[in-house]
Amino acid sequence: MNISSNAKQAAKAVAPATSVRYRVLWLAVLLYAITYMDRVCIYAAMPVIARELSFDKITQGLIFSAFAWGYSSLQVPSGWLADRMGPRRMLSGIVVWWSAFTVFTASAWDTASFVVIRVLFGAGEAGAFPSATRAFSRWLATSERGFAQGVTHSGSRLAGALTHGLVAAMIAVWGWRTPFVVFGFVGFAWAAVWFFWYRDRPEEHAGVSPSELQWINDGKIATGKRSALSWRKLLCHANMWRLCVMYFCYGYVLWIFLSWLPTYFAEVRGFGLVKSGLYTMIPLLAGTVTNSLGGWLSDRLYVRTGDLRSSRRQVAIGGFGVAVVFVVLGVLAPDATLAVIAMAVAVGGLELTTGVSWAIPLDIGRDHSGTISGVMNMFGNWGGAISPLLVAWLVQRFDSWTPAFVLASFLCLVAGLLWFKIDPTVSVVEEET
């Protein structure tokens, strides 16, 4: 049965009697929210931390990058482990790990302690998205994957947006160390719920009905075949390299908005601590909406046309095209209000591509989607690791934020052009009996 007929069959199928897969999805949404609460907390707190500990911009950039180096370095091993251990054990363990280091951040006292804690924190979070993607490969039908990846990343962006305002308010009352302790214990609670309720396969969960299991499988009958991963084929596959370079560009640009936007609004647009945190929420909230919208649009196009290639490409190219224009308009805007609006549109366009990008590892990776998504996310977070340091250097070198944002716009253009060649119908794994 081909992709087009599967899409049409899924669209016509009777709704299943149970919806346990949606509970899995919403637990994943909460997971993604926790990842961004924990990682964004330091960006919102950094203006206060920098004043207290006399950190210059290069030091701040080093601390921001420390997370990304730990995070990116373990993407592939974490994805590989998720494929073999299963998301239940993998996610329970790593959430406890990184939540502990979130709490430990409250005890940091100098540059070295911050860097070490952030590297180990990032190493823990490395397995979150690949493991969740692996869970989706078993729990969601093809026609639901784009929306699922979009709504989970929407959860992360919503949490990232609200965290800026929440942390600013908590700091004003209790100081900068308290938010790290509070957020860490939220992660401990999630890990307990996931371990005792979730199952790696839907057929192992007592709440899943036969009709839901058939829906998840797109109505297909098991063929007895499984996919095999050849690292040689993977590393030589042009489709994989295009995906990775595209996501490197995306990650570089995203991290500018995650790490430096509060500082940019405070220094260039004249906002104070609380106001800067609140205005930073606006672009991230725009990304929250478009994350879900992009995945949903791609899935609807796929169900309507059966053309997976076109349904993924159209949404991603459009989103990067919007970002190319509005990133530059934001930094060149003559007043603060226009700058906030333009930055919101830019982040909205950028995030329109996220659900589609994360659907691709499911499309081309099959049972190895954890590994494939880990490779992709490793490149994205190499971009995220370089971004804070390079932005700090560009701002100090030119005494202006404009070059940093112009470079970001150019990388969005590169990513959009790569989408003309990324093909979700070309698998990077092989089938074996």
pLDDT at 433 over 70: no
Q: Is the pTM of this model over 0.75?
A: no
pLDDT, tens digit, 9 for 90 and up, residues 400-409: 889 999 999 9
Burial of 219 (0-12, 13-18, 19+ CB in 10 A): middle
220 pLDDT above the threshold of 50: no
Taking the C-alpha atoms of residue 384 and residue 258, their distance in angstroms, rounded to an integer, is 10
Segment 95-124 shows an average pLDDT of 90
In DSSP notation, 56-90 reads -HHHHHHHHHHHHHHHHHTHHHHHHHHHHH-HHHH
| CATH no., domain 18-218+230-425 | 1.20.1250.20
Report the distance separating Cα 295 and Cα 362, nearest Å: 13
Whole-number mean pLDDT of the chain?
82
The residue length of the chain stands at: 433
pLDDT of the residue at 97:
92
The residue among 92 and 232 whose pLDDT is bigger is 92
Phi, psi of 228 (to 5 degrees): -120, 135
Domain ranges of the chain: 18-218+230-425
The pLDDT tens digits for 2-32 are 444 444 444 444 567 677 888 888 898 899 8
26-30 CB contacts, 8 Å cutoff, 24+ apart: 27/190, 27/193, 27/194, 27/197, 27/198, 28/132, 28/135, 28/136, 28/148, 28/152, 29/151, 29/152, 29/154, 29/155, 30/155, 30/190
**Any bridge partners for residue 431, and if so which?**
227
What count of other Cβ atoms lies within 10 Å of the Cβ of residue 144?
Answer: 23
Which pair of tokens denotes residue 158? 């919503």
